[in-house]
Amino acid sequence: MVAPRMHVADLCADRPVTRLDLIVLRRYPRRMVVGEKFTGPMAAACARDNTGVVGLVLWGEDVDRVTPGTSIRLLRGWCRERDGSLVVSTGRHGRLVVLDHVAVPEQA
Task: With a cut of 50, say whether residue 93 has pLDDT above it.
Answer: yes
Mean pLDDT of the 83-102 span: 89
Is 106 inside any structural domain? no
Domain count, the chain: 1
- pTM, whole model, 2 decimals? 0.85
CATH number at residue 44: 2.40.50.140
Is 18 inside any structural domain? yes
Q: Is 96 exposed, middle or buried (0-12, 13-18, 19+ CB in 10 A)?
A: buried
Find, among 82, 35, 86, 83, the residue nearest to 59 by Cα. Answer: 35
**Alpha-carbon gap, residue 16 to 30, rounded angstroms:** 25
Residues above pLDDT 90, as percent of the chain: 77
Q: How many helices (H) and strands (E) does the chain have?
A: 1, 7
Is 3 inside any structural domain? no
Under a CB-based contact definition with an 8 Å cutoff, are residues 65 and 86 in contact? no
